[in-house]
Structure 1
Amino acid sequence: MGKFKLVALDMDGTVLNEEQKVSERNKKAIGAAIEAGVTVMFATGRGIQSARPFIDRLNLQSPIVTTNGGEVWRAPDDLMKRHQMEAKWIRQMHEMAILEDTWFWAYAVEGVYNRDNWPGDIDSIDWIKFGFHTENLEKLAGIRMELEAWGVFEITNSHPFNLELNPLGVSKASGLIDVCRFLGIEMSEVIAMGDSLNDIAMIRAAGLGVAMGNAQEEIKQAADLVTATNNEDGVAQIIEQYILKQSN
């Protein structure tokens, strides 16, 4: 086997194209990497609920990092670790979102909640991640500044118009470190690919950090290299070059 033993893939904007599909070339490359003995896994901001259809479609039995590191899975139905948000944080951020009139959503063990289906009893729910969305960048910056002052959050995004909140120290990188420990490999043996700020920690920590061609500029600056866009099979191009050529 070559230098890299694990490929960690962000989903939206990375392995999924703009039609929210995995292209045939990406699917073929992922399958070939697995056949070559390399672990291919998702490291996503999505919860397990919305990641599972793609996990099933690709027949992945590998570990998974979901909700930006909020949950780490040994396999799709085998939870390794969960980092929960305090209910009081969720209540305060919900109040802030209402006051600022932004879209908001939150992942919990029990499901996904948003402005359209917000629960009445916040304290009875096991919260994992909260998010804000607004196209008013001045308003978004103000929300971020206030949340930073709390000093308890890891603040990232999965799109320039949103903010995503996890407990401080929880990220895709922290999740990948747990996975590497479980698999008995080093972070230097990991390829990590992504396009948004919630990918930057794992891109910096991986042996090969790859930004998509459609990535936010800050991600491109942090990465070791930039591949093609998610609509141009950028994931497959990296797997073909850095995994499949090594195994031949």
Structure 2
Amino acid sequence: MTLQTNSRYKLIALDMDGTLLNRKGEISEQNRKWIQAALEADIKVILATSRSIRGVVEHARTLNLDLPVIVSNASEVWRTPDELLSRYEFNAEAKERILKVIKEYNGHIRFYIQYVGGQFNHDQWDPELAWEKQWLQVAIKSDDGELLDKIREEISSWGLLDICSSHYTNIECNPAGRSKGSGLLEVCNLFDIRMEEVIAVGDSLNDVSMIRAAGLGIAMGNAQEVVKQAADEITLSNEEDGVAAVIQRYFF
């Protein structure tokens, strides 16, 4: 039976890893059930992730989401999982400088370069071939916090990239101005939905931009402390069906 909603919220944006997905990378039955209830009540449910579109499509189809998805921290926004809406790439200067950082710290960092159609990893890549690709996102990883802070400071000084992270051991780089928050605004403009009518849910630093931009920003129970401080509310953890709890409380 379809549930009725009188909520003032019209859209919910969900991070994936650490939010929608449990530690096994699965969508729980409760999360699935309440997402379906939201869809049947004409609530728009969208995914917003640092994953590439290839890492999203299967989950979106499992949930019957024929709606926009924000991927690569909004370097791409897809109108549906099968139709690209917009794409934002690294310019030549940003690529050149990132390659110099990788060369300088080679052996002390791990990294991946997410490009249109694929990804290079630190242990399997070709700098010349990488240069020819359309870059969407770069992640640099290290267990050495001081080294990571040094690299973050250097990259930030260029003013060419938007920097965040999905874990305390990494930094994620996107074209300047691209974040989950900017991607969410793009989706809202598509549907003529005001940001005050949006709920955003996440657990990591790369979710803070959309949590702050949304009318209601919610941190997962397992979220990093800085994310909880940025949020309006805190829900249950991803192991306790926190997404289902949000949908039940604020839509029904």
Which category describes the TM-score, using the shorter chain as reference length?
Answer: over 0.9
99, 104, 114: which is aligned to 2:111? Answer: 104
The gaps in structure 2 that reach 5 residues or longer are 1-5
37, 54, 70: which is aligned to 2:75? Answer: 70
Moved more, 87-96 or 42-51: 87-96
Does the CA-based 8 Å contact 2:94-2:160 persist in structure 1? no
Does the CA-based 8 Å contact 1:103-1:115 persist in structure 2? yes
Does the CA-based 8 Å contact 2:34-2:244 persist in structure 1? yes
What amino acid maps onto 1:74 in structure 2? R
What is the deviation of 1:98?
4.0
80, 85, 94: which is aligned to 1:80? Answer: 85
What is the deviation of 1:209?
0.1
125, 135, 145: which is aligned to 1:127? Answer: 135
SS at match of 1:121: helix
Does the CA-based 8 Å contact 1:131-1:164 persist in structure 2? yes
Partner of 1:11: 16
Partner of 2:168: 160
Q: Distance in 2 between matches of 1:91 and 1:148?
A: 15
Aligned-pair Cα RMSD in Å: 1.2
Q: Distance in 1 between matches of 2:110 and 2:91?
A: 20
Correspondence 1:197-208 to 2 at 5 A: 197-208=205-216
Partner of 1:54: 59
SS at match of 2:13: strand
Q: Distance in 2 between matches of 1:111 and 1:56?
A: 20
What amino acid maps onto 1:150 in structure 2? W
TM norm structure 2: 0.94
Does the CA-based 8 Å contact 2:219-2:234 persist in structure 1? yes
What is the deviation of 1:87?
3.9
SS at match of 2:56: helix
Q: Distance in 2 between matches of 1:66 and 1:57?
A: 17
What amino acid maps onto 2:22 in structure 1? N
Does the CA-based 8 Å contact 2:94-2:161 persist in structure 1? no
Q: Distance in 1 between matches of 2:239 and 2:166?
A: 17
Correspondence 1:182-201 to 2 at 5 A: 182-201=190-209
What amino acid maps onto 2:158 in structure 1? W
Q: Percent identity?
A: 45
What amino acid maps onto 1:40 in structure 2? V
What is the deviation of 1:90?
2.8
The gaps in structure 1 that reach 5 residues or longer are none
What is the deviation of 1:88?
3.9
Correspondence 1:141-180 to 2 at 5 A: 141-180=149-188
122, 125, 130: which is aligned to 1:115? Answer: 122
Post-superposition Cα deviations, 1:2-52, rounded to whole Å, max 9, x if no partner, equal: 201101000001000111110111011111100011000101111101111
Correspondence 1:231-242 to 2 at 5 A: 231-242=239-250
Q: Distance in 1 between matches of 2:142 and 2:95?
A: 18
| C-alpha spacing 1:146/1:55, structure 2 compared with 1 (3 Å) | same
Correspondence 1:19-34 to 2 at 5 A: 19-34=24-39
